[in-house]
Amino acid sequence: MSLTELRALSVRQPWAHAILHLGKDVENRPWRTHYRGRILIQAALKIEREEALKLKLDPDELPTGAIVGSIEIVDCIRNSKSKWASCGQWHWILKNPRYLAKPIPFKGALGFIRVPPKLLEGKHFHAPYKDYK
């Protein structure tokens, strides 16, 4: 990840957690992206509580309002066969998740968010415990 051009995407919980820890390999969005490469994942303040419970996660334990990790966007298609894909959405194909053991507080926004490189100095990203491929 280039330290001169850091971008983040705000993702609601539990989806941010699922991307980094449960093998969620598609991000569903109503808009297409031509961006390819690594981006930071910012866990939004809003939690989809029912969805978290369906994934057997405690909604109150999920970090919000913070950068929680990073992912690579490798493609953007309409008809992904992933179990995580939603009909009628663009499917951003994700690979190589990396999580932060200690989330970094950071305010989210719509679209890609510019992140000051200084914010990540000395921070270490980790591979998930399991390979869900």
- Per-residue pLDDT band for 4 (boundaries 50, 70, 90) equals low
- Per-residue pLDDT band for 130 (boundaries 50, 70, 90) equals low
* Average pLDDT score over residue span 43-52: 96
pLDDT digit string, tens, across residues 61-87: 999 999 999 999 999 999 999 999 999
- Per-residue pLDDT band for 133 (boundaries 50, 70, 90) equals very low
Q: Could you state, in order of their start, the residue ranges of all structural domains in the chain? A: 6-116
* Average pLDDT score over residue span 100-115: 86
CA angle 113, 119, 123 (to 5 degrees): 115
* Average pLDDT score over residue span 43-62: 96
- Per-residue pLDDT band for 129 (boundaries 50, 70, 90) equals low
Length of the chain in residues, anyone? 133
- CATH number of the domain at 6-116, please? 2.30.130.30
pLDDT of residue 128: 78
- Per-residue pLDDT band for 42 (boundaries 50, 70, 90) equals very high
Mean of the per-residue pLDDT values of the chain = 90
The whole-model pTM stands at: 0.88
The span from the CA of 53 to the CA of 31, in Å, is: 27
Q: For residue 14, give the nearest of 76, 45, 57 by alpha carbon.
A: 57
The span from the CA of 50 to the CA of 15, in Å, is: 12
